[in-house]
Amino acid sequence: MPDKIEGNAAFLKQLGNLVRGQRAKRGMSRKVLAMDSAVSERYLANLEQGKGNISINRLRQVAFALHVNVSELLPPE
């Protein structure tokens, strides 16, 4: 079971890095992304730090606000 938990943590960390990278690529502040995606700044901060387990619908909102496909925010398996 620890391998699965560690794998989940690594996945969330990669997901957060991808979201932060896309946001930075666009020169977008977390505040603007929060407003555009209707996801709170605190939630986005946790997500970018790999601490937030985002729902697929919220991830779609973030992707839409970043003008990317959801698949661009998902780490490769």
Task: Please report how many Cα atoms fall inside a 13 Å half-sphere around the Cα of residue 10, on the Cβ side.
Answer: 8
Write the pLDDT tens digit of every residue in 41-73: 999 999 999 998 999 999 999 999 999 999 999
Is 5 strand, coil or helix? helix
Entry pTM: 0.89
Which of 23, 27, 17, 24 has its CA nearest to residue 39?
23
Q: In the chain, what are the domains? A: 2-72 (1.10.260.40)
Q: Which residue has the tokens 């997500």?
A: 47
> Is residue 77 over pLDDT 80?
no
Length of the chain: 77
